[in-house]
Amino acid sequence: QVQLVESGGGLVQAGGSLRLSCAASGRTFSSYTMGWFRQAPGKEREFVATIKWGDGSTHYADSMKGRATISRDNAKNTVYLQMNSLKPEDTAVYYCAARSFSGSYYYTRPRDYAYWGQGTQVTVSS
């Protein structure tokens, strides 16, 4: 029903910036919650940020506050993650996810999401 494709990852120096994109196809509903997660080798998948598709409300992991901005373009069915002041510990595969039935929760757990993209690699060099 919903397909998600991430792009925009790459190699960047510490202190640099990247903007990741998540293009959604099929159908996106106003009730959806969209999330960004990341996973480093040998680590659990961890929460980065979420946005409510309908009203644009956002929530961030503490490690991302002040450095990341999640946004969406409703006309393009695309969600973005702008990351600044990148650190080597930000190195991971970044995944876009979608939850189709959303309430007032922030939904910060991977198990809260049914749809996932293939991931895009972000590597931050020191």
Q: Tens-digit pLDDT profile for the chain (126 aa)?
A: 799 999 999 999 999 999 999 999 977 678 899 999 999 999 999 999 999 998 999 999 999 989 999 999 988 999 999 999 999 999 999 999 999 988 889 999 999 999 999 999 999 999
3-state SS, residue 110: helix
pLDDT score recorded for residue 28: 66
Integer-rounded Cα radius of gyration of the chain:
13
State how far the alpha carbon of 40 is from the alpha carbons of 29, 66, 75, 87, 110, in Å.
30, 21, 32, 13, 14
